[in-house]
């Protein structure tokens, strides 16, 4: 895989943990992003009032998505260029978590964009306010991108980690952030976010990236049939236009593929636990000897 961080140490953290927290931006930059969001807030809320977590993509407004892309290029690209190399950008979005008791986001992985693990794709998650356990912070299952490979498709697929969700929540690392801090997170890492109890929406920007030279793909599984998954070749701008059923409007379908979905076996999970350097001995012992998965 191409090295996406300029700094070796960050690259090796990213490869072993699946995420890196960085302080990249100034309060003024975050304020500029926030001010822009305040202007487009009602457009986000108008279409999406019933969701706990919603994004700019769901507005279906290509002009808005292009404007967000331009805003980021004008506002934060100096730091992005100083930190990363060998990358292409994917779509960027505001991601809003409403306030309420039921707003925890359960462990999940993001969609497959590229051929993994030869290539990798990731988000830069930039919260526009401080985050902690009561204000929608990100939670990550360190190293979980190395457990097992899965094709992650739209609209849904048999989730291979379903039997372990409670265990995974217990193993999450909570990532508090101050203004200007952000999290670079591999799309294949299991992650979630905590409840937002602040009484205000929690707003973040997510900026998508993948390794330079990778073909960008989108997979659509019709009617839950994993023997006829449609594979589309995407250009960055194809993410601005989707049909109501979730298929891309203009991208070219290049293949129909079959994929065998199987839950991650207890044996696979346990052998990962044994080898995983980020788990301490007590946790390993609990997982392997005292707890049934």
Q: Can you give the binding site for ligand AKG, defined by CB under 6 A?
A: 53, 95, 97, 105, 110, 123, 136, 191, 193, 204, 206
Distance of CA 138 to the CA centre of its chain: 10
Q: Which residue is nearest to ligand AKG (CB)?
A: 193
Q: Of the two residues 112 and 193, which places its CB atom closer to ligand AKG in the complex? A: 193
As measured in angstroms, the least distance from the Cβ of 51 to ligand AKG is 12
Q: Of the two residues 145 and 191, which places its CB atom closer to ligand AKG in the complex? A: 191
Positive or negative, the CA dihedral 9, 10, 15, 16 is: positive
Q: Of the two residues 165 and 288, which places its CB atom closer to ligand AKG in the complex? A: 165
As measured in angstroms, the least distance from the Cβ of 208 to ligand AKG is 9
As measured in angstroms, the least distance from the Cβ of 141 to ligand AKG is 12
d(CA 193, CA 141): 11
What are the two backbone dihedrals, phi and then psi, of residue 186, each rounded to the nearest 5 degrees?
Answer: -65, 135
Closest CA to 227 of 153, 122, 140, 139: 153
Q: Of the two residues 136 and 143, which places its CB atom closer to ligand AKG in the complex? A: 136
Q: Of the two residues 59 and 193, which places its CB atom closer to ligand AKG in the complex? A: 193
CB atoms within 10 A of CB 236: 15
DSSP state of 110: P
As measured in angstroms, the least distance from the Cβ of 138 to ligand AKG is 6
């Amino acid at each position: 895989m191409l090295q996406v961080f300029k700094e070796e140490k960050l690259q090796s953290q990213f490869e072993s943990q699946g995420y890196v927290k960085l302080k990249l931006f100034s309060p003024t930059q975050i304020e500029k992003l926030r001010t822009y969001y305040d202007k487009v807030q009602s457009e986000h809320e108008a279409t999406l009032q019933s969701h706990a977590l919603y994004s700019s993509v769901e507005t279906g407004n290509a002009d808005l998505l292009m404007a967000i892309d331009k805003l980021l290029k004008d506002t934060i690209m100096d730091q992005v260029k100083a930190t990363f190399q060998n990358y292409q950008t994917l779509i960027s979005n505001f991601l809003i978590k409403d306030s309420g008791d039921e707003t925890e986001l359960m462990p999940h992985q993001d969609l497959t964009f590229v051929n993994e693990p030869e290539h990798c794709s990731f988000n830069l998650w930039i919260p526009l306010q401080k985050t902690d356990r009561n204000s929608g912070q990100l939670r990550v299952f360190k190293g979980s991108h190395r457990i097992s490979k899965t094709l992650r498709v739209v609209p849904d697929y048999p989730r291979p980690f379903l039997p372990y969700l409670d265990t995974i929540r217990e193993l999450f690392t909570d990532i508090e952030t101050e203004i200007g801090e952000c999290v670079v997170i591999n799309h294949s890492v299991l992650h979630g976010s905590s409840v937002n109890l602040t009484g205000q929406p929690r707003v973040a920007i997510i900026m998508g990236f993948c390794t330079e030279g990778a073909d960008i793909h989108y997979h659509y599984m019709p009617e839950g049939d994993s023997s006829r998954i449609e594979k589309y070749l995407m250009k960055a701008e194809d993410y601005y236009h989707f049909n109501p059923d979730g298929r891309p409007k203009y991208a070219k379908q290049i293949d129909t593929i079959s994929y065998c979905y199987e839950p991650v076996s207890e044996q696979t999970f346990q052998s990962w636990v044994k080898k995983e350097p980020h788990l301490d001995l007590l946790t390993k012992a609990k997982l392997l000897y005292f707890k049934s998965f």
